[in-house]
Amino acid sequence: MVVVAQKPLHPLDEYLRTDRLPHIWCPGCGLGMILQAFLWSVKELYERGKIDPDKVVFVTGIGCTGRASGFVNFDSAHTPHGRAIAFATGVKLANPKLIPVVFSGDGDIAGIGGNHLLHAARRNFDVLVIMANNMTYALTGGQLAPTTPFTVYSTTTPKGNPDQPLDATKMVYALKPNYVARLSITHPTLIRESIKKALLKRGFRWIEVLSTCSEIFGRHINFRDPYELYERLKKVVKFRRPQSIDDIKYDWDNEITCGTFIDKDDPGWMETYMKMYGLEDKLGGL
Ligand code: SF4
């Protein structure tokens, strides 16, 4: 870690490039809560001797969420739109001892980068993906995202979204990687617990976090007040243990199912591959 020269003002300062602050996120945006949960998780695991922050490589794509790579004090990369998972795959292949973490938005991960998501999950590739889902392409002005709810206005669908949205978590669940969870900024402690668990696992780990974009998505659904949007999100979040894939709902008007849906410990892709080539000694721990 880079040593902070002056006395930190906040316990997380050592994990932030404080010279890059203030951040660019709007008042009322949920992204800071997700980043904070991640930073607290790393800090706690480090203090318990479970993780070396110098091995964390923080990879983002493009979008409001993607700006986080400039704020954190890890080795980080701000990669082309949709390519964060591909970049993180390269990081792990180049140095299996590193811990790549992808932190990006729904447009980047499930839209433009959807193909990378599909195949990394299918291969149970060793990367943690945290997808902040604010249901729109926020940074670029509120275009339709694959996650935008049915009939909701966007700047590219002025009469409402005619498409059924993609439930990215349901898709990942179907591919059966080691860890699949969907959480919400309305329950921040659970985000932290989930990230701590996922950071210590091998294979593909997926955490979707429902977030509030008060500036764009909120305006599009006539919730201009960030607190009202937060309350609206809270209403639709339902924690359940699904019995089957059909129990996972992504319906903005009724229920977005949250919880931990898969938590297992199969060998990740790296382990399988390294064993095939007799390279187990090159595999990294945490
Ligand atoms: S535009 Fe939306 S997602 Fe982007 S920083 Fe503002 S509130 Fe957050």
Q: Is 215 in the pocket of ligand 1 (CB under 6 A)?
A: yes
What is the arithmetic mean of pLDDT over 226-242? Answer: 96
Tell me the per-residue pLDDT of 173-221, one tens digit each, with 9 for 90 and over.
999 999 999 999 999 999 999 999 999 999 999 999 999 999 999 999 9
Question: Residue 249, Cβ neighbours under 10 Å: how many?
Answer: 17
pTM of the entire structure? Answer: 0.96
pLDDT band at 285 (very low <50, low <70, confident <90, very high): low
The pLDDT of residue 5 is 54
Q: Is 184 in the pocket of ligand 1 (CB under 6 A)?
A: no
In a 3-state reduction of DSSP, which class is residue 99?
A: strand
Tell me the per-residue pLDDT of 111-149, one tens digit each, with 9 for 90 and over.
999 999 999 999 999 999 999 999 999 999 999 999 999
Which residue out of 103, 104, 148, 213 has the highest number of ligand 1 atoms within 8 Å of its CB and is therefore the one to mutate?
213
**Per-domain residue ranges for the chain?**
13-276
- Which residue matches tokens 């999950």? 121
Q: Which residues contact 280 (CB under 8 A, 6 or more apart)?
A: 271, 274
Superfamily of domain 13-276: Thiamin diphosphate (ThDP)-binding fold, Pyr/PP domains (3.40.50.970)
Residue 286: pLDDT over 50? no
CA of 214 to the centre of ligand 1 (A): 7
Tell me the per-residue pLDDT of 21-79, one tens digit each, with 9 for 90 and over.
999 999 999 999 999 999 999 999 999 999 999 999 999 999 999 999 999 999 999 99
Specify whether the CB–CB gap between 175 and 225 falls below 8 A: no
User: From the alpha carbon of 226, which atom of ligand 1 is closest?
Assistant: 7
**Which residue minimizes the CA distance to atom 5 of ligand 1?**
25
